[in-house]
């Protein structure tokens, strides 16, 4: 095999200019494809990370009826025994955070707005997200405190601020009346736009008491050690809780619309990548075509002195793969270097304001997901295999006498 590689390496550099042009085309295709996908995926990764961290969790345990009817009546009992069972179900579970969530009316002395009330454990929430960093005024609530943190959008609509009193009116578990007065101890610019317009956040035990749901929660957020372990950990939890009236969901099952939107948005870059590789493939084919046709007499001599057609095909295949590897490796390195240099892209002016109005930071982060790098190598390899079909067919039908007379 070593001699085949050595022969192939020497052959591709017989015409340096042709090889350099072909390699440059592959480098350009790989580089553009990676950068296009990185820019698109980076924005969605930030969006998904925020939704997962602040809303759904990577894995969520609910009552099996809650997904169809998000009611406090479909909450479930959460105690130390259940917590230990879940933690022991899979050693890859890193952290958990219980939450209770419901709809209530939030009011001041003059007006009323619909709101989503979240009961959270502040210490456990900090393990999931940097919630305190989004506080613009005041502080975070503490356990056993009759206090709330308001999302800025809701606070502006009700014209309330820190140290004011918020009135919450609603319905607790099994139709119990739920109402109370709460001191506002903080104002938050919530990173999820919808929650920034109607979110009310309080301590978990305070919310359970308010809703007559002591010991009950509507969702248990679970995070594995690594995101890639989400599906396998969820499978372990499903086996452990199989006989319980509990359902285990992964974040794609809870927010499928985000994945659908991402797939639709990535369709254009993928189409452009496909067209780019088709164009580069024809250029690659031209190079291999020329390298094959101009060496027909050489092939005839090699076959006449006893070289097997299989071995000759092997040398040509290695030549094709070597050109591909050189182009892919350099293209990946240059693309990675460019992404590192420009990450993140800071927006300014009207573009920045438009992004901020949607509830996101005015930046375009780059994605460094490994699959978007090695997939380009796979695509180029498939192109190389397709291109190699021409010299393979040519050699299989090769006539030594015709080559000798040429």
Q: What is the DSSP string of 280-309?
A: HHHHHHHHHHHHHHTTHHHHHHHHHTT--H
Span 80-97, pLDDT tens digits: 889 999 998 888 998 899
- State what percent of residues in the chain have pLDDT above 90: 27
235 vs 253: CA distance, rounded Å: 13
Can you count the helices (H) and strands (E) in the chain?
Answer: 15, 14
Q: Collect contacts of 9-14 with beta carbons under 8 A, ≥24 apart.
A: 9/322, 11/291, 11/315, 11/319, 12/291, 12/319, 12/322, 12/323
Q: In terms of residues, how long is the chain?
A: 406
Residues 107-118: what's their mean pLDDT? Answer: 90
Q: Are 100 and 283 spatial neighbours (Cβ–Cβ below 8 Å)?
A: no
Q: Which residues contact 8 (CB under 8 A, 6 or more apart)?
A: 315, 316, 318, 319, 322
- Pairing of the two strands 177-188 and 219-224: unpaired
Helix axes 80-89, 230-240, angle to 10 degrees: 130
**384/118: higher pLDDT:** 118
Confidence of residue 349 (pLDDT cuts 50, 70, 90): confident
101 vs 219: CA distance, rounded Å: 8
So where are the chain's domains? 2-50+258-405, 65-244
The pLDDT of residue 360 is above 70 = no
Residues 31-47: what's their mean pLDDT? Answer: 83
373 vs 380: CA distance, rounded Å: 12
Cα–Cα distances in angstroms (integers) from residue 114 to residues 95, 141, 199, 403, in the given order? 31, 21, 9, 85
Q: Are 222 and 58 spatial neighbours (Cβ–Cβ below 8 Å)?
A: yes
Confidence of residue 40 (pLDDT cuts 50, 70, 90): confident
The pLDDT, as a whole number, for residue 402 is: 64
Burial class from Cβ neighbours inside 10 Å (0-12, 13-18, 19+) for residue 42 reads: buried
What's the chain's average pLDDT? 85
> 176 — phi, psi (to 5°)?
-65, 145
Alpha-carbon Rg for the chain, nearest whole angstrom, is 31
Q: Are 158 and 107 spatial neighbours (Cβ–Cβ below 8 Å)?
A: yes
Bridge partners, 216 (sequence order): 77
Residues 108-134: what's their mean pLDDT? Answer: 87
Span 283-336, pLDDT tens digits: 888 888 887 777 777 777 777 777 787 887 888 888 888 888 998 999 999 999
Cα–Cα distances in angstroms (integers) from residue 259 to residues 90, 114, 252, 282, in the given order? 27, 28, 7, 34
Helix axes 296-304, 309-342, angle to 10 degrees: 130
State whether the Cα torsion 76-80-82-87 is positive or negative.
positive
């Amino acid at each position: 095999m070593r001699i085949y590689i050595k022969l192939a390496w020497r052959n591709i550099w017989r015409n340096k200019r042709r090889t350099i042009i072909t390699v440059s085309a592959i480098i350009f295709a790989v580089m553009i494809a990676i950068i296009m996908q990185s820019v698109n995926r980076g924005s969605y990764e930030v969006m998904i990370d925020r939704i997962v961290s602040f809303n759904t969790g990577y894995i969520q345990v609910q009552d099996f009826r809650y997904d169809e009817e998000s009611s406090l009546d479909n909450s479930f009992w959460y105690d130390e025994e259940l917590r230990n069972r879940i933690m022991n179900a899979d050693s890859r579970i890193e952290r958990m955070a219980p939450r209770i969530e419901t709809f209530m009316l939030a009011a001041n002395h003059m007006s009323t707005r619909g709101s989503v009330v979240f009961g959270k454990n502040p210490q456990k929430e900090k393990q999931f997200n940097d919630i305190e960093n989004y506080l613009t005024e005041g502080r975070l609530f503490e356990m056993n405190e009759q206090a709330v943190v308001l999302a800025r959008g809701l606070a502006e609509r009700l014209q309330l601020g820190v140290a004011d009193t918020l009135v919450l009116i609603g319905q607790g578990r099994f139709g119990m009346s739920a109402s109370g007065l709460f001191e506002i101890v903080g104002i938050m610019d919530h990173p999820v736009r919808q929650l920034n317009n109607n979110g009310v956040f309080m301590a978990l035990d305070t919310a359970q008491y308010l809703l007559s749901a002591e010991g009950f929660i509507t969702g248990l957020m679970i995070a594995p050690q690594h995101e890639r372990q989400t599906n396998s950990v969820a499978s372990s939890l499903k086996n452990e809780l199989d006989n319980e009236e509990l359902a285990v969901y992964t974040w794609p099952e809870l927010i499928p619309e985000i994945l659908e939107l991402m797939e639709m948005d990535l369709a254009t870059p993928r189409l452009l990548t496909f067209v780019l590789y088709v164009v580069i493939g024809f250029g690659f084919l031209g190079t291999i075509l020329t390298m094959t046709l101009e060496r027909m007499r050489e092939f005839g001599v090699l076959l006449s002195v006893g070289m097997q057609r299989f071995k000759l095909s092997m040398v040509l295949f290695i030549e094709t793969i070597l050109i591909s590897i050189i182009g892919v490796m350099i293209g990946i390195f240059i693309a990675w270097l460019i992404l590192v240099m420009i990450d993140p892209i800071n927006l300014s002016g009207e573009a920045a304001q438009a992004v901020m109005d949607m509830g996101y930071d005015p930046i375009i982060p780059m994605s460094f997901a490994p699959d978007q790098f090695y997939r380009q190598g796979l695509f180029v390899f498939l192109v190389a295999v397709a291109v190699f079909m021409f010299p393979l067919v040519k050699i299989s039908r090769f006539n030594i006498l015709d080559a000798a007379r040429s």
